[in-house]
Amino acid sequence: MFQPNMFESHHHLLEMGSKPHENEDYESKSGTDNMEAPSGDDQDPNDRPKKKPYHRHTQHQIQEMESFFKECPHPDDKQRKELGRRLGLVPLQVKFWFQNKRTQMKSQHERNENSQLRDENEKLRAENIRYKEALGSVSCPNCGGPASVGEMSFDEQHLRIENARLREEIDRISGIAAKYVGKSMLSYPQLLSGASGEIFGASDILRSIPGPSEADKPMIIELAVAAMEELIRMAQTGEPLWVPSSDGLGEVLSEDEYMKTFPRGIGPKPLGLRSEASRESGVVIMNHINLVEILMDTNQWSSVFSSIVSRATTLEVLSTGVAGNYNGALQVMTAEFQVPSPLVPTREVYFVRYCKQHGDGTWAVVDVSLDNLRPATISKCRRRPSGCLIQEMPNGYSKVTWVEHVEVDDRAVHNIYKLLVSSGLAFGARRWVATLDRQCGRLASVMATNISSGDVGVISSPKGRKSMLKLAERMVMSFCTGVGASTAHTWTMLSGSGADDVRVMSRKSMDDPGRPPGIVLSAATSFWLPVPPNQVFDFLRNENSRNEWDILSNGGLVQEMAHIANGRDPGNSVSLLRVNVSY
């Protein structure tokens, strides 16, 4: 809300929300002629100036301004002068016409939205009553008395979950409708209060954490419903909640504005944790139904995001969804997130994942930590509502808007990776979207039947091409397992070698799919290179420069036998090389 200049106050009030008179023709009258001279009882009626007649615009002027309005509803001074000169109007007439037009459009939109909200509100109330009646008649199959949650069948438990979802929907719709129909706004369910205090020692939450108790499940449901509402608003709201970053390469969350917008949430930030929030959007070559299935299946999720998710487990499924899909699916999970380096500690999270359909072709999947259910152990990473909004697009594509919002203790990160982690590029939304885009491109390449002439080489059959792409993906998964800092494996400094920055780790090969039984020994080191990362990437993937960095190659005799595109980016590819190795 701003304070208008005094000489423009009459017209700015129109733009700020006052509704026009139903009988006024806002498309054909100029605001400059809609002004009366002041009057008084001591003034001679004959001397009073008569009310000026309305100036009606010509049909041509209206059509021109209507056409301009569609492209630019808020013209600046220069545009108004040019438009007025072309139509034979003064800039002030053009200005008032656009103000009145915006007011008229806003009023029409509010009336339409008001009608839709009333219909949706009544429908949800009726549906909620029906679910309550169904729950009220539930009886125990053994004794015939009222059934408790633990004695109810899965379908009956799902009714409770669906009822909680409807209660949240009714609260949301009622809050919006209160602006238009004058009804009181219902309050949202009270969320779990946040735990605060000091950070205790690190604990691996993936080893022995039990599933939620029956007493915890109602709180988990309400927390998931509220987290879904927060994710949608975080994904769709711009400034002042999200502001451009100082480097101009992304967005930064305003923590003050966040606390004003979501005052309750999951509680205050514990001492010792740093907030990390990011948002990224992208279009991927996969339909929305398959994306939802990947996100809700733990094995597929950890496989597609193998470079980020080192381990993941579903502790309990509270709901599998309705109507044969994942709408309303709710599951309690644990996961460990990694950067492919032993110098960056992993992040372990205990959380609930909730999936919901928000209309035809629009889905959302949200995660939120359940640390408040484990007061004895406060983890070093707490996940505020995070996840993605998926919107259907033509030709099997989907638009994905990802929000990543965590509170983490990253003091153990090595100095080499400090900037990468603090910038959000290590665990942030940009990395999730980039990984998803690459994997969707890979899956599309696996399914492709049209092979370009440049991709044939010695692998000409679709079956051989598919096998090569699957082998390449297993190599990526094995590499990430071999260099990550997962708590399932322990790295040891290699002493006595003169290289203090070399770390070694051994693991059983059964952990890697496709490998025969045995022991895998990994060694890793990290160092700075004073060149851009894309230059290093291009150098390493070029077979002609292999003899410059691979001491085992003999005289640079490296030949590319096959080249398979693995996504839209030319850098995403799989090559079959023949290398002469010398010992």
Nearest to 177 by CA among 249, 104, 116, 225: 116
Query: Beta-carbon neighbour count of residue 552 at 10 Å?
Result: 11
Token pair 């071999």 in the structure block, residue: 482
H/E run at residue 561: strand 553-565
Query: Beta-carbon neighbour count of residue 477 at 10 Å?
Result: 17
- Give the phi and the psi of residue 109 in degrees, each rounded to 5: -65, -40
* Region(s) of the chain under CATH 3.30.530.20: 205-447
pLDDT of res. 216? 81
Which amino acid, residue 196? S
For the chain, how far is it from start to end, CA to CA, in angstroms?
75
For the chain of 583 residues, list the mean pLDDT of each consecutive stretch of 10.
38 37 42 44 52 72 88 88 89 89 88 82 78 60 50 54 66 54 35 31 49 81 90 90 78 87 77 88 91 92 91 89 83 92 90 89 91 68 92 90 92 88 88 91 75 57 79 84 80 66 77 68 84 87 80 71 74 77 67
pLDDT of res. 175? 57
H/E run at residue 492: strand 492-493
Contact 351, 383 (CB under 8 A): yes
Nearest to 379 by CA among 418, 344, 350, 404: 350
Its CATH class, for the domain covering 205-447, is alpha beta
Long-range contacts of 87-90 (CB under 8 A, 24+ apart): 87/60, 87/61, 88/61, 89/30, 89/57, 89/61, 90/32
Residues with Cβ within 8 Å of 527's Cβ and at least 6 positions away in sequence, in order, are: 416, 501
Contact 292, 356 (CB under 8 A): no
Residues with Cβ within 8 Å of 398's Cβ and at least 6 positions away in sequence, in order, are: 283, 284, 286, 287, 288, 291, 390, 391, 392
* Rounded to 5°, angle at Cα 193 from 235 and 136: 90
Q: Rounded to two decimals, what is the model's pTM? A: 0.62
pLDDT of res. 381? 87
pLDDT of res. 111? 85
CA distance 456 to 445: 13
**How far from 152 is each of 37, 140, 166, 210, 569, CA to CA, in Å?**
76, 7, 20, 21, 52
CA distance 367 to 237: 19
Contact 558, 544 (CB under 8 A): yes
- Enter the tokens of residue 177: 């409708």
